[in-house]
Amino acid sequence: MRNFISELEQRKEAGLYRVRRQVSGPQQPALIADGKGLLSFCSNDYLGLANHPDSIEALRTALSDTGLGGAASHLICGHHEAHQRLEERLAAFTGRSSALLFSTGYMANLGVISALAGRGDTIFSDQLNHASIIDGCILSRATVRRYPHGDVASLGAMLAETDGHKLVVTDGVFSMDGDVAPLRALAKVCREHNALLVVDDAHGFGVLGPHGQGSVAEFGLSEDDVPVLVGTLGKAAGTSGAFVAAPDVLMDYLVQKARTYIYTTAMPPALALATCNNLDLIGQGGERRKHLRSLTDRFRQEAAALGYSLMPSTTPIQPIMVGDNQETLALSRALEAQGLLVTAIRPPTVPEGEARLRVTFSAAHSHEDLDKLLQALAYCRPVQPVPASAQCSAIDNRVV
Ligand SMILES: *Cc1c(COP(=O)(O)O)cnc(C)c1O
């Protein structure tokens, strides 16, 4: 039998051991974590809808009409008119022919990728794609070829030398880097090589595009350009669940073949109705997105001026690159000592040697919240050429 205890010890020594914090009360920037009040900069609730009073009211009202449980899978007797309504709303909102609900984005990627590619087919996957895409690729049993991050020329060359059914899959906004995939060029190369393009817009949906329809809309791309669009409802949409939007024929096919759609209980129907309400809030969320952008822009300027190493991202995902696992943990702890919650992201979530603090912004943050983050960052500022880590470990030792 494997020595699980020693594996856990090794993880601790390598700075890779993960712990959960227990949150009390609602998800919002002022968070109670392990009983302690912290100002959080690490949630994916980009628009601040996770604790919006209108949504809570919408859920209460819906519950009295629909009851609570989903009770069965969609294909048995779980497909409620509330789900149907949300699917229609999502299709209209994203400008697609139809949409299909999944219980989570993780399950949507597993189901969609493994349904649309199989043994003998080839999947081309961006090197920095989310874990759920990687797992979907494995589950499909197709040949998987990873292409260098965002490198459309390399992808084109790989597509040119491959015959048979080809599927290309990419994050719309990369979850740990915050950069946006070159979707226009990807759509073009996929068309040239007759490959099916799947975009997972978990972090673009609600945030990018003229009305928050996501990264694909930001580039003005249609269903012809990007036939398969995956989105989660647990991030900017502020509830839970996920969807796939696609042409009718693919939707029909997914209902027949996507096992993570078929063999699981439908989400509580009231949640689907509350999510319809949040789609309205996303559509009307111009001011929220503008505020989010102003927080992001100001952070980029001021954190860079403090000497931190930022990444080329214009989205609310603004990682501070550190590199070493322990140094990243030390910076995270130093910030926590000053009342801030910014989680350290380490391998295998990011490549070896690229551990970072993943700072994220929400429209629920105020500029005063951002002041606090910047002040704390200034307190453990890297003084060149001394790395950030040395500064922050020293602070860490003093205050913790
Ligand atoms: C979070 C995330 C998912 C998973 O979505 P859930 O609804 O949280 O399961 C899928 N893809 C990407 C890129 C993500 O960041």
Distance 233 CA to ligand 1 centre (A): 9
Residues 88-142 have pLDDT tens digits of 999 999 999 999 999 999 999 999 999 999 999 999 999 999 999 999 999 999 9
Torsion angle of C-alpha atoms 173, 174, 175, 177, degrees rounded to 10:
-120
List, as residue ranges, the binding site for substrate: 18, 130, 349
Distance 298 CA to ligand 1 centre (A): 27
Ligand 1 pocket (Cβ < 6 Å) reads 104-106, 109, 130, 132, 171, 175, 200, 202-203, 232, 234, 242
At residue 383, the pLDDT reads 56
Distance 10 CA to ligand 1 centre (A): 28
Enumerate residue ranges in the chain where pLDDT < 50. 385-400
Q: How many CB atoms lie within 10 A of CB 388?
A: 28
Select from 103, 113, 129, 200 the residue to mutate for testing ligand 1; criterion: most ligand atoms less than 8 Å from CB: 200
Class of 17-47+286-391 in CATH? alpha beta
Conformation bin of residue 230: beta by default, left when phi > 0, alpha when psi is -120 to 50: beta
Distance 324 CA to ligand 1 centre (A): 25
Residues 258-282 have pLDDT tens digits of 999 999 999 999 999 999 999 999 9
Burial class (CB in 10 A: 0-12, 13-18, 19+), 153: exposed
* pLDDT > 90: percent of the chain: 93
At residue 392, the pLDDT reads 44
At residue 384, the pLDDT reads 52
Q: Which atom of ligand 1 is nearest to the CA of 241?
A: 7
List, as residue ranges, the binding site for pyridoxal 5'-phosphate: 105-106, 175, 203, 232
Question: CA 202, 332, 356, 370 torsion: positive or negative?
Answer: positive
Distance 395 CA to ligand 1 centre (A): 34
Distance 399 CA to ligand 1 centre (A): 35
Element (H, E) at 301: helix 286-305
At residue 15, the pLDDT reads 83
Q: Which fold would CATH assign to domain 53-283? A: Aspartate Aminotransferase; domain 2 (3.40.640)
Element (H, E) at 213: none
Q: Which atom of ligand 1 is nearest to the CA of 107?
A: 9
Select from 27, 45, 106 the residue to mutate for testing ligand 1; criterion: most ligand atoms less than 8 Å from CB: 106
Which residue has a Cα nearest atom 3 of ligand 1?
A: 105
Two structure tokens written together for 118 = 């199989």
At residue 381, the pLDDT reads 79
Which residue has a Cα nearest atom 10 of ligand 1?
A: 105
Catalytic residue list = 175, 203, 235
Q: Which atom of ligand 1 is nearest to the CA of 106?
A: 9
Which residue has a Cα nearest atom 15 of ligand 1?
A: 175
At residue 393, the pLDDT reads 42
Residues 175-205 have pLDDT tens digits of 999 999 999 999 999 999 999 999 999 999 9
How far does Cα 108 stand from its chain's mean position? 13
* Among the listed residues 190, 141, 191, the one whose alpha carbon sits nearest the alpha carbon of residue 169: 190
Residue boundaries of the structural domains of the chain: 17-47+286-391, 53-283
Q: Which atom of ligand 1 is nearest to the CA of 175?
A: 15
Q: Which atom of ligand 1 is nearest to the CA of 240?
A: 7
User: Within 47-173, where are the H helices?
Assistant: 53-66, 81-94, 105-116, 131-140, 152-160
* Domain 17-47+286-391 and domain 53-283 have a common topology: no
C-beta separation of 95 from 88 below 8 A: no
Which residue has a Cα nearest atom 14 of ligand 1?
A: 202
**Model confidence, pTM:** 0.94
* CA–CA distance, 364 with 145 (Å, rounded to integer): 40
